[in-house]
């Protein structure tokens, strides 16, 4: 017995492999929906499922047309659109659910405009526990999360981390907080050894021991620890890299439009690069996008970082 799921997304090689595996006494069952074949760009061949009855003349087709999630009005729209596809198995979705309200179609400029429209609808309705936003990829949550935070709309992301809870985002913000407040010990400890540069707990204690002499300034502590004994060779080199990155970055910041671009990963000092934009910004500067050797994290923040905090 051979069972195949999502058969509409199988490619030519998988089709040939399946054909070779099937023998005279083999029972084969494939499950799929030709209307959901969306991966042609990566080699999926919808004809595999469309031609299945011809490849296996004894096959029996079972149509699973009942829908359990949507209302009748939504299914009627889906049926009216999908029936125009060429080359498909005829099917008619139906549901035992209520008819439901009529769906509304909106045209928007981009993801920010879409998030703003949705936020205004949700905030006006205020039925937060009865509202859901469906999107296909996790990256699409960023615009909604940012807009919801600005609008004071409570939300939770199901099946994935919230954007601002992701490790790389927290790391990028930690660096920015440290740059604007060099006495921020929590974020200093988070980033001093990330990526790993040989500065473990013991070396960190050695650095922090210069606190009274540095009057609490963590970058001064870092400099003093590299100038005096107490750190291992590896830890001292790592501390020098981190210190150089933190102290030279403000001088290398530049403004373009409403964007503040902070190149941090020069010479591998910190291992990050960050682009911060205001709500009126749509795309990062072209110069930034061309620096492919740096990993850019786009963080749309409710309040852009103030450059006046830098010397």
pLDDT in tens, 286-303: 333 323 322 333 333 333
- 99 assigned to some structural domain: no
- 267 assigned to some structural domain: yes
- 104 assigned to some structural domain: no
pTM of the model: 0.56
For residue 195, the Cα-to-chain-centroid distance in whole angstroms is 21
Number of folded domains that form the chain: 3
Per-residue pLDDT reduced to its tens digit, 171-226 = 888 888 888 889 999 999 998 988 888 899 999 999 999 999 999 999 999 999 99
Residue 115: its pLDDT value, please? 93
- Within this chain, do residues 246 and 299 fall inside the same structural domain, yes or no? yes
Residue 80: its pLDDT value, please? 93
Backbone dihedral region of 103: left (phi > 0), alpha (psi from -120 to 50 degrees) or beta?
beta
CATH number of domain containing 298: 1.10.486
Distance CA 219, CA 238 (A): 13
- Within this chain, do residues 236 and 298 fall inside the same structural domain, yes or no? yes
What the block records as the tokens of 175 is: 């660096």
| Torsion angle (degrees, nearest 10) of CA 157, 158, 160, 166 | 30
- 97 assigned to some structural domain: no
Residue 294: its pLDDT value, please? 28
Q: Residue 66 carries which DSSP code?
A: B
Q: What are phi and psi of 245, to 5 degrees?
A: -60, -45
- Within this chain, do residues 26 and 122 fall inside the same structural domain, yes or no? no
What the block records as the tokens of 21 is: 């595996």
Taking 70 as the pLDDT cut, the residues of the chain under it are 249-311
- Within this chain, do residues 223 and 295 fall inside the same structural domain, yes or no? yes
- Within this chain, do residues 173 and 47 fall inside the same structural domain, yes or no? no
- Within this chain, do residues 18 and 39 fall inside the same structural domain, yes or no? yes
Domain boundary among 141, 164, 187: 164
- Within this chain, do residues 175 and 144 fall inside the same structural domain, yes or no? no
- 148 assigned to some structural domain: yes
- 291 assigned to some structural domain: yes
- 86 assigned to some structural domain: no
- 82 assigned to some structural domain: no
Give residue 293's domain range: 167-309
Residue 179: its pLDDT value, please? 83
Helices (H), the chain: 12-21, 47-50, 52-55, 72-82, 111-125, 141-151, 167-180, 185-191, 201-208, 211-214, 218-227, 233-252, 286-290
- Within this chain, do residues 236 and 191 fall inside the same structural domain, yes or no? yes
């Amino acid at each position: 017995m051979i069972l195949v799921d999502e058969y509409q997304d199988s490619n030519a090689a998988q089709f040939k492999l399946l054909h070779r595996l099937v023998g005279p006494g083999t029972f084969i069952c494939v499950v799929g929906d030709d209307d959901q074949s969306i991966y042609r760009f990566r080699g999926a061949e919808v004809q595999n499922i469309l031609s299945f009855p011809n490849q296996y003349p004894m096959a029996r087709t079972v149509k699973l047309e009942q829908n359990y999630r949507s209302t009748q009005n939504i299914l009627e729209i889906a049926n009216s659109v999908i029936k125009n596809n060429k080359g498909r198995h005829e099917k008619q979705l139906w549901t035992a659910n209520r008819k439901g309200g009529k769906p509304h179609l909106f045209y928007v400029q981009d993801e920010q405009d879409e998030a703003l429209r949705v936020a205004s609808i949700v905030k006006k309705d205020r039925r937060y526990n009865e509202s859901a936003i469906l999107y296909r990829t996790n990256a699409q949550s960023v615009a909604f999360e940012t807009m919801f935070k600005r609008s004071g709309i409570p939300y939770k992301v199901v099946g994935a981390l919230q954007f601002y809870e992701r490790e790389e985002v927290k790391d990028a913000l930690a660096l920015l907080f440290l740059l604007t407040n060099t006495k921020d010990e929590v974020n200093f400890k988070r980033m001093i050894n990330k990526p790993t540069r040989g500065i473990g707990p013991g070396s960190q204690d050695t650095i922090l021991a210069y606190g009274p002499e540095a009057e609490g300034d963590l970058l001064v502590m870092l400099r003093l620890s590299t100038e005096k004994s107490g750190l291992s060779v590896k830890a001292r080199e790592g501390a020098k890299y981190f210190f150089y990155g933190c102290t030279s970055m403000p001088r290398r910041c530049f403004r373009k439009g409403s964007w503040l671009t902070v190149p941090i990963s020069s010479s591998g000092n910190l291992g990050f690069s960050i682009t911060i934009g205001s709500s009126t910004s749509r795309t990062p500067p072209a110069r930034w996008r061309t620096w492919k050797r740096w990993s850019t994290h786009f963080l749309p923040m409710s309040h852009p970082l103030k450059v006046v905090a830098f010397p």
